[in-house]
Chain A
Amino acid sequence: MNALLFAVILSSVADAGPVKLDAMAPCSPQDEFLRANAAYEAGKVADALTAWEGLYARGLSGASLCYNIGCAHFRLGRRGHAILWFERARRLAPRDEDIRFNLSLARSHLPDETVPPWETFDRLLAPGELAVVVAILLAFLLAAIGFGALTGRDLGKLKPWFAGTTVILVVLGVWLALRARDLAAPQGFVVAAAAEVRSGPGEEYTAGFTVPEGRRALLLSVRNGWVEIGVPGQGLKGWVREEAVRKL
């Protein structure tokens, strides 16, 4: 039964909605990806970036693609965009050393940037892995108890196992809930050189402070081409132009 449940969970992981990979493309995504890599190696960074972003726009993603796009943005001097894409890559492959290194380098100009603790936790268990582990443990625990009750067998000998599993499940469940909340929170990065943060959604409001390119920000609301952002860890809040930030 657990195997069946696991299979169902895996099928839900694989299910990603209707995406036609190459219906409109002149060549396969893989060819396009490799051609973009070659362009980057030849120094045609902008061309490579266009091709990679075209793949992403077609509904394809992957740690390598996001990482490469981040590299191209960094080469073109767009640190904010580079950080955005490295962060996307990190979420897909949290244990990848290259991604972590480049992300760290790209945001090295932000000495007071608060690095989320999830970067460490994700290396232990990525969000998807965490969800699967929690699902399996939950299925085992509930199925064992249900099976015992259904068959009338005495499961008293398994009580220590049940207790240990329950404790682990609670810890992982809290971790998963917090992680899911963080993933669901609308986050983004400042991609303008130095975004002036104003007290209201318009140029007529005074600029209270500036946020540097690459700063992580919570996207709180949108109005008339302006986005209300909050800067985590600094307690700052204000409005910037919509084009100054990109959603993660």
Chain B
Amino acid sequence: MNALQAAEPDPLHPRRAGGTEFPESPPCIRHSASPSAISHSAFRIPHLAVTEARPGGSRILPTAAALLASLFLFCAPGRAEVTVQATVDRNVVGVNDPFIMTVVVSGAGMGVSDPRIPQVTGLGFAAAGRSQNVSIVNGSMTQSVVFNYQVTATSPGKHVIPSVAVVTGGKTYATDPIQITASVRAPGSGTTAPAVEGPPPVKVTAEAGKRRAYVGEQVPLVIRFFNRAQLASQPSYSPPDTAGFLVEDLPGRNYQGTSQGVAYAVAELRYSLFGTSPGNPVIGPAVVQATVAERDAADPFGMFFRRGRTFTLKTDPIPMVVLPLPDSGKPAGFRGAVGSFTVRSSVDRTSVEAGTPVTLTFEVSGRGLIRSLKEPEWPALPSARRYETVSDVNMKKTADAVAGTKTFRTVIVPQSPGKLTIPGMSYPFFDPEARKYVAARTAPITLDVKPGKGGTSTSQVPGLPGKATESDIRFIKARYDLAPVAEPLPLRPRFWALQGLPALLLIAGLASSFRRRVLLSDPSAVRAAGARRAASRRLKAAGALAKAGKKIELHAAVHEALTGFLADRWRVSASGLTLNAAEARLREKGADDALLKRLRETWEQSDLVRYAPMAASGREPGEVLAAAGRLMADLEKFT
């Protein structure tokens, strides 16, 4: 026990280090409730509440207030007794096998500093979190702050975790030292649960069938989980890292076995590993995390609420040596097969007509990485055509090896009648047991090829009507048709963008149609909108009169154009429009005097010349027309 306050030894946690109270420890109010206090807090208060809750009770509010006050009083932390305790989850550990140290500060209020962890040779500390607990027991509230550390012993032997100092309430408290024993485990044996008394409740081992193997050679790997305890939950399993190997799962099993004379339930996981390249790969540790149920015999509720103790078990890494396949004796046609195999070939018929397909089957059976076997080197058959090879795999996994059959099938089509002999085929592989290359061979197969129907010697493959009835390609082309490489037209963005042009035309047409419909529904609006164009037409006609030397008619046309323009804009009759009325309307719209003066001059001049030809000014006809045009342009914004 590391507690600063003396406490009874805890029979359930024998590894805890005890502690002693500091002489200067502050006075504290003990809330170790007496039987009377328990009675009061546990029974009297509910009784009061039920009593005072009766209907018609007029004192319910004061009573409730008193109840809350008493609750607050009982639960107030006050100056609780401060204890600081350090524990570890196990005292016997493995080198580089992390364990947990917990520092619990109980009875302190807020403001607990982080413990000062001393430097210890051979031990490494890493903070693993801080938590705070508040508990109320019999109305007494206690607070505790828990600091967790992951500790790793880096060297074997006995180590001591010295006192850990914690400052709270302005005072310093220290825990007792803790003894740790670190040991180096034998490689390959895996890890066990930390030793308590007797054999470990759970342990895990990894065992490789061999430590040296050739590339592609099968290496069995067995992971065994031993258990003789009751587990609180399903263990979790992380398979080992097998970089550098191809892995095939093998069937696992469960059985009752013994280890070092102790009976265990054993769960066994099996793998077959195949080295992919020469080197020194390492099979990483498999990790099992298991929670063993613990029962407290002194706790009457122990049968219902079992504690769990979690063990993280790792196997030791297994260094391997993967040897390259020997170069000497490597046969021609070797395609990387490693294992022990037999081969067999067959055809689905031995008597066929020319041009009729025959299925040639080649089977490789044995132990090895069946799935990755390459197809054989098919023999050249000048008088037959051969087609695509298809393959399928039939795996037969036993408890200690991968075996099975890989079947390759191809179609051959004899081209001409006669005897067609398919030579025996060789399938070289490397036998790691014999440490040499072996070539398995099939027997030759002879086909009796009869003339095909129609006497043709060319073939027709079923399913390909009309295809490949000739045996050679056609000749090259001499026509020069080279052009820069270009994307197909449907993939060019510009092509698709061009499709927008007719759409734009359509939109323009529809917009124009819409506008026309709107204008037709209001003829006066059409007239107003076309006033300028009508005036231009009139001035153009006046220009023709001017060219003909008809000055009087010219002025009459100008007058008509001007009055017509204003009348059209204002949607009134031109004959009823007077100069004064026009001036008044324009002035209302903000026309200035200069513009009105130009209007008056043009209006009166053109009007006067119509009736007094001698009054015509000396201005050129073109000038008159231009001035009238400018005037109407300036007037438009006020109409």
Q: Do residues B501 and A207 form an inter-chain contact, with CB atoms below 8 A?
A: no
Q: How many A-B residue pairs have CB under 8 A?
A: 186
Q: Do residues B498 and A12 form an inter-chain contact, with CB atoms below 8 A?
A: yes
Query: Is A16 at the interface (CB under 8 A from chain B)?
Result: yes
Q: Do residues B477 and A176 form an inter-chain contact, with CB atoms below 8 A?
A: no
Contacts of A147 in B (CB 8 A): 505, 509
Give, as a whole number of angstroms, the nearest-CB distance from A242 to chain B: 20
Q: Do residues B495 and A34 form an inter-chain contact, with CB atoms below 8 A?
A: no
Query: Is A116 at the interface (CB under 8 A from chain B)?
Result: no
Q: How far is the CA of A108 from the CA of B371 in the complex (A)?
A: 28
Give, as a whole number of angstroms, the nearest-CB distance from B208 to chain A: 19
Residue among A109, A152, A179, A212 having the largest count of chain B Cβ atoms under 10 Å: A109
Contacts of A56 in B (CB 8 A): 485
Partner of A152 from B389, B490, B499, B513 at Cβ < 8 Å: B513
Residue among A1, A149, A212 having the largest count of chain B Cβ atoms under 10 Å: A149
Taking residues whose C-beta sits less than 8 angstroms from the other chain, chain A's interface range is: 35 or more
Chain B binder among A97-105, A158-166, A216-224: A97-105
Partner of A139 from B388, B501, B510 at Cβ < 8 Å: B501
Q: How far is the CA of A9 from the CA of B509 in the complex (A)?
A: 22
Annotate B385-411 by CB proximity to A: 1 below 8 A, 0 otherwise. Answer: 111110100000000000000000001
Q: Do residues A143 and B491 form an inter-chain contact, with CB atoms below 8 A?
A: no
Contacts of A132 in B (CB 8 A): 489
Partner of B486 from A16, A30, A135 at Cβ < 8 Å: A16
Q: Do residues B388 and A146 form an inter-chain contact, with CB atoms below 8 A?
A: no
Residue among B463, B470, B492 having the largest count of chain A Cβ atoms under 10 Å: B492
Q: Do residues A101 and B388 form an inter-chain contact, with CB atoms below 8 A?
A: no
CB within 8 Å for A63 and B481 given contacts A68-B476, A108-B467: yes
Q: How far is the CA of A247 from the CA of B173 in the complex (A)?
A: 75
CB within 8 Å for A16 and B467 given contacts A34-B478, A108-B461, A150-B513: no
Give, as a whole number of angstroms, the nearest-CB distance from B402 to chain A: 12
Partner of A149 from B372, B484, B486, B512 at Cβ < 8 Å: B512
Contacts of B482 in A (CB 8 A): 29-30, 33, 55, 60-62, 64-65
Q: Do residues B473 and A194 form an inter-chain contact, with CB atoms below 8 A?
A: no
Contacts of A75 in B (CB 8 A): 473
Query: Is B6 at the interface (CB under 8 A from chain A)?
Result: no
Partner of A59 from B276, B375, B485 at Cβ < 8 Å: B485
Q: Do residues B490 and A176 form an inter-chain contact, with CB atoms below 8 A?
A: yes
Contacts of A112 in B (CB 8 A): 388, 463
Partner of A30 from B468, B480, B498, B505 at Cβ < 8 Å: B480
Query: Is A231 at the interface (CB under 8 A from chain B)?
Result: no
Q: Do residues B509 and A13 form an inter-chain contact, with CB atoms below 8 A?
A: no
CB within 8 Å for A40 and B498 given contacts A146-B507, A194-B389: no
Partner of A127 from B473, B475, B484, B490 at Cβ < 8 Å: B490
Query: Is B502 at the interface (CB under 8 A from chain A)?
Result: yes
Given contacts A71-B474, A72-B476, A131-B490, 20 further A-B contacts (CB under 8 A): A13-B486, A17-B484, A19-B485, A37-B476, A59-B485, A60-B485, A61-B486, A62-B483, A91-B488, A111-B388, A135-B499, A138-B499, A143-B505, A145-B509, A146-B508, A150-B508, A183-B490, A194-B375, A203-B276, A212-B389
Task: Kindly list the 4 A-B residue pairs having the minimum CB-CB distance in the complex, ordered from nearest.
Answer: A146-B509, A108-B468, A149-B509, A142-B502
Chain A residues in contact with chain B, CB under 8 A?
1, 5, 8-9, 12-13, 15-17, 19, 21, 29-30, 33-34, 37, 40-41, 55-56, 59-65, 67-68, 71-72, 74-75, 91, 98, 101-102, 104-106, 108-112, 127-128, 130-132, 135, 138-139, 141-143, 145-150, 152, 176, 179-180, 183-184, 194, 203-204, 206-207, 209-210, 212
